[in-house]
Structure 1
Amino acid sequence: MSERNNGLTERNEEIVDSGSLDLEERSSLRRVAGLSTELTDISEVEYRQLRLERVVLVGVWTDGTAADAENSLAELKLLAETAGSEVLDALVQRRQRPDPATFIGSGKVDELREAVEATGADTVICDGELAPSQLRNLEDRVKVKVVDRVALILDIFAQHAKSAEGKAQVELAQLQYQSQRLRGWGGNLSRQAGGRAAGGEGIGGRGPGETKIETDRRRIQSRAAKLRRELAELRTTRDTKRANRQRHQIPSVAIAGYTNAGKSSLLNRLTHAGVLVEDALFATLDPTTRRTQTSDGRVYTLSDTVGFVRHLPHQLVEAFRSTLEEVADADLIVHVVDGSHPDPLGQITAVREVFAEIGAEGVREVIVVNKTDAADPAVVREVLAREPHAVVVSARTGEGIDELLGLIESELPRPEVAVDLVLPYERGDLLNRIHESGEIDEVEHRSDGTRVAARVGAGLAAELAPYLVE
């Protein structure tokens, strides 16, 4: 038996091609070792079993290596734990594509139900986005709640949202997700909504012949429309601040990257911002912007943004579009990568897919390999070989921070207009703006004012035109 399992393991290391799979591999539903979070301290076990959902993870491995499949499930485990669940078991099946009816194949659902019964789990989390029919079929056969990856990420965002804008964005994404997945037990959503005794709202609670599912969908659409109006109003404040920075020609730098890569720690290290730092996925949902300056006095802004993840739900990208515009409108993206992660190159690819979706693929980008104090040097070298425009840092120890600051300064846009002028002493405000957003080559204090030779942006150059030296 051990020889047979070893043979299967060796074959599972190979990349799946487009041809048919071996029958034995297709029928294998492998248990992934080491993904249980069940604790041994009895008091803590009793507490968590009362408070947390007990879950079994299920994945379908369609391409890549066995290591890729297990990395994906390991990430799903972290997501489940962040949402407040206790992972009891994890299963992965190798298939050419997920089963259209039950995700893992009808023959394997019985094995999944046995695993659920054996562990006492109350929830199954699938590593993928399931169609409404797949969710319904799995729940009907496994007899416990089934959640897909999208719903799990939405739940984490709902727990972590703090600001009014963040809460509204998350609720809008959840409503968009739920509107396509309304269902009821015993067909009660297909009945026409009647009086209160029938579960409806009586007079005024329905249209002619409106069913319960239509009523619920109408309420979701109404609430979503209200949230979009609220987000449009909240967006005005963000747009005003951004327009003010652009008017004063203050360059902006966006810190972006995979969730839990250390973006907030890096912002704190660079600006002493005091942003919450937590070893958890999606700890930052509300962007933080801080002003800082280069070694030669030029002012620029650094913005911490929401982390990305593989297969980031489209609903979240749409709902958080106003927040993600901080990345698309930036002059420079500091793309933070977790050097201690088993697959940092895969994370870079996933983040760049989101960049493309929000229209940020054309923004200049600097790769920052973080957490090098805990990283495998061979992995770091692999990233540097693939990404030559990169710097290695540790936000925790401060290693490489000076090099990163120098790289950011060199990548910031330079003022394009050369000016030679004499500013009256009462126009100290203009001199201050030249210091903040321009590059000063020469300053001379004279009896008639301050002689300044500098390079500034086009907008400021127009304001300085009356003071130019002939």
Structure 2
Amino acid sequence: MTEEISQNGYDTASDLAELSLGELELEERSSLRRVAGLSTELQDITEVEYRQLRLERVVLVGVWTEGTALESEASLAELARLAETAGSEVLEGLVQRRDKPDPATYVGSGKVQELGEVVRATGADTVICDGELSPSQLQQLEARLKVKVIDRTALILDIFAQHARSREGKSQVELAQLQYLLPRLRGWGQTLSRQAGGRAGGGNGGVGLRGPGETKLETDRRRIRAKISKLRKEIQAMSVVRDTKRGLRTSNAVPSVAIAGYTNAGKSSLLNALTGAGVLVEDALFATLDATTRRTQTPEGHTYTLTDTVGFVRHLPHQLVEAFRSTLDEVADADLVVHVVDGADPMPEWQVNAVREVLGEIGRRRDAAMPPELVVVNKTDATTEFALARLRHLLPGAVFVSAHSGAGIDELRERIGELLPRPDVEVDVLVPYVRGELVARVHQEGEILLEEHTASGTQLRARVKADLAGALEQFAVNGTSA
């Protein structure tokens, strides 16, 4: 990469990173550039032989349409991590500068030939494009490169399929995959060609190709549509159970907090640090797909629930947002969203924008305002003081923690307690000792302003929610409560 930059008149990689769209020479713009540091080829020969039996060997290609060169390379580096998570060995990464992707071949017909030479030279068996390909682009690239071609969307769907554990999660992923596959079914050879159906006139195939009039391609589409319909019904039935549990928590006046954020930002680690839940923690993208809910308490002793949700990523496929609707509704229905940001990421503002974009889409779909947001910067033990100072400027009001070391967790608990909904009905009651369960509820759900034990019972002045105020109304002092 350094040698290639110097040949083009740039002294360092940082010089190239600062270039904007219109600042490159025309020849440089149209060329395919190698992105250094993406290869995950192993040096140990025994390990290489082992992984070659198990892992697909892939070449990555992206189209740089906006932003700086550094941003385009960061996008391809993220694609490399996605490919590794899916079980691939990244051999090479290429970026081409274009105003927009070529409608026929994504990178342009001339660059397809160059890409083919790289594929043959590296021995790759798969090409992954950093964008969503149309069915025609997919078909053109596979026909010319003679290897399997997939796009970013298919890669993310594959990772979701590998990590889904629960029945609901597996059904959601399968639905998203089928919705993605349906418009991309295409026929190969005569076995999938259109049948004549009756008279063979008009050049429809002639003798041997007259048949019922339905192609195998059409049959596959019909079966996929039927499966999609079935999966939607199953997911709807499963979401009823989730909604029932959520409704019980709401009726019991237990505030809820949803942990949302970019994939691998440390959401599950934060849930464990706050609740001791023991949820799976793994340094991998999309390790968590199934929502996990745990109870915990504020420093004042008030109970609330914490829900770990599926991670987001830039350009999250819309099929996944639709399929994971019931899981994402945990975020929309929460009283507070704890937005976790990876403090060790080189471009955390990308993560923040991607998460807020998805949250905004959820809000628009429900036509409702999203709950308040508390930004939490995680992994402070894995980054520099300079990066933390930059984040404090970018994200004023954020809480800085390390779920690994425990630093900042107590402050986070206090901030969550401050932002949760407060009881809004003040009561002044004298509760008989035989109704001690009501006193316990006031301690658990409300705010005690005054408590005194008398011969007749426990006298309380407190702020509570409306439902508990109704239950206490019969014990109001002088028959009234505010």
Kindly tell me the number of residue pairs found equivalent between the two proteins.
456
Q: Aligned partners of 1:64, 1:219: CA distance in 2, in Å?
A: 43
Equivalent residues of 2:195, 2:212 under 8 A apart:
no
Q: Aligned partners of 1:67, 1:39: CA distance in 2, in Å?
A: 26
Equivalent residues of 1:251, 1:299 under 8 A apart:
yes
Paired position in structure 1 for 2:393: 385
Q: Aligned partners of 1:449, 1:322: CA distance in 2, in Å?
A: 46
**How far is the alpha carbon of 1:214 from its aligned partner?**
1.5
Paired position in structure 2 for 1:237: 241
Decide which moves more: 348-357 or 387-396: 387-396
Paired position in structure 2 for 1:135: 138
Choose from 46, 50, 54 the match for 1:51: 54
**How far is the alpha carbon of 1:11 from its aligned partner?**
5.5
Decide which moves more: 2-11 or 328-337: 2-11
Choose from 86, 90, 93 the match for 2:89: 86
Amino acid at match of 1:243: G
Say if 1:362 and 1:232 are closer, same or farther in 2 by CA, change over 3 A: closer
Amino acid at match of 1:420: D
Equivalent residues of 1:352, 1:361 under 8 A apart:
no
The answer as to 2:18 corresponding to 1:13 is yes
Q: Aligned partners of 1:2, 1:90: CA distance in 2, in Å?
A: 16
Amino acid at match of 2:231: L
The answer as to 2:179 corresponding to 1:176 is yes
**How far is the alpha carbon of 1:43 from its aligned partner?**
1.4
Paired position in structure 2 for 1:454: 462
Q: Aligned partners of 1:11, 1:452: CA distance in 2, in Å?
A: 69
Say if 1:347 and 1:187 are closer, same or farther in 2 by CA, change over 3 A: farther
Equivalent residues of 1:123, 1:145 under 8 A apart:
yes
Amino acid at match of 1:89: E
**How far is the alpha carbon of 1:122 from its aligned partner?**
0.5
**How far is the alpha carbon of 1:61 from its aligned partner?**
0.6
Q: TM-score, normalised by structure 1?
A: 0.93
**How far is the alpha carbon of 1:409 from its aligned partner?**
1.0
**How far is the alpha carbon of 1:442 from its aligned partner?**
2.1
Choose from 224, 228, 241 the match for 1:224: 228
Decide which moves more: 370-379 or 28-37: 370-379
Q: Aligned partners of 2:151, 2:261: CA distance in 1, in Å?
A: 23
**How far is the alpha carbon of 1:366 from its aligned partner?**
1.0
Choose from 255, 274, 283 the match for 2:278: 274
Equivalent residues of 1:168, 1:227 under 8 A apart:
yes
Choose from 393, 407, 413 the match for 2:421: 413
Equivalent residues of 1:248, 1:437 under 8 A apart:
no
SS at match of 1:139: helix
Paired position in structure 2 for 1:149: 152
Say if 1:84 and 1:239 are closer, same or farther in 2 by CA, change over 3 A: same
Q: Aligned partners of 1:95, 1:399: CA distance in 2, in Å?
A: 45
Choose from 311, 329, 336 the match for 1:332: 336
Paired position in structure 1 for 2:473: 465
Paired position in structure 2 for 1:4: 7
**What pairs with 1:20-99 in structure 2 (closer than 5 Å)?**
22-99=25-102
Say if 1:36 and 1:361 are closer, same or farther in 2 by CA, change over 3 A: farther
Q: Aligned partners of 1:98, 1:392: CA distance in 2, in Å?
A: 39
**How far is the alpha carbon of 1:95 from its aligned partner?**
0.7
Paired position in structure 2 for 1:357: 361
Choose from 321, 327, 330 the match for 1:317: 321
Q: Aligned partners of 1:356, 1:12: CA distance in 2, in Å?
A: 30
The answer as to 2:382 corresponding to 1:374 is yes
Q: Aligned partners of 2:61, 2:379: CA distance in 1, in Å?
A: 30
**How far is the alpha carbon of 1:118 from its aligned partner?**
0.6
Equivalent residues of 2:16, 2:69 under 8 A apart:
no
**How far is the alpha carbon of 1:3 from its aligned partner?**
4.3
Equivalent residues of 2:194, 2:213 under 8 A apart:
no
Paired position in structure 1 for 2:201: none
**How far is the alpha carbon of 1:26 from its aligned partner?**
2.8
**How far is the alpha carbon of 1:377 from its aligned partner?**
2.0
Q: Deviations over 1:340-380 (max 9, x none)?
A: 10100111011000010111863211111111111122222
Q: Deviations over 1:254-310 (max 9, x none)?
A: 111000001111111111000000000000001111101112111011111110000
Q: Aligned partners of 1:56, 1:231: CA distance in 2, in Å?
A: 36
**How far is the alpha carbon of 1:422 from its aligned partner?**
2.1
Paired position in structure 2 for 1:425: 433
Say if 1:2 and 1:372 are closer, same or farther in 2 by CA, change over 3 A: closer
Amino acid at match of 1:177: Y
Q: Aligned partners of 2:401, 2:19: CA distance in 1, in Å?
A: 34
SS at match of 1:394: coil
Equivalent residues of 1:339, 1:376 under 8 A apart:
no
Q: Aligned partners of 2:73, 2:469: CA distance in 1, in Å?
A: 57
SS at match of 1:104: coil
Paired position in structure 2 for 1:203: none
Equivalent residues of 1:179, 1:220 under 8 A apart:
yes
Q: Deviations over 1:92-121 (max 9, x none)?
A: 101111111111111100111111111111
Q: Deviations over 1:314-361 (max 9, x none)?
A: 000000010001111111111111111010011101100001011186
Q: Deviations over 1:115-136 (max 9, x none)?
A: 1111111000000011111000
Say if 1:105 and 1:12 are closer, same or farther in 2 by CA, change over 3 A: farther
Amino acid at match of 2:66: D
How large is the Cα RMSD of the aligned pairs? 1.9
Say if 1:48 and 1:447 are closer, same or farther in 2 by CA, change over 3 A: same
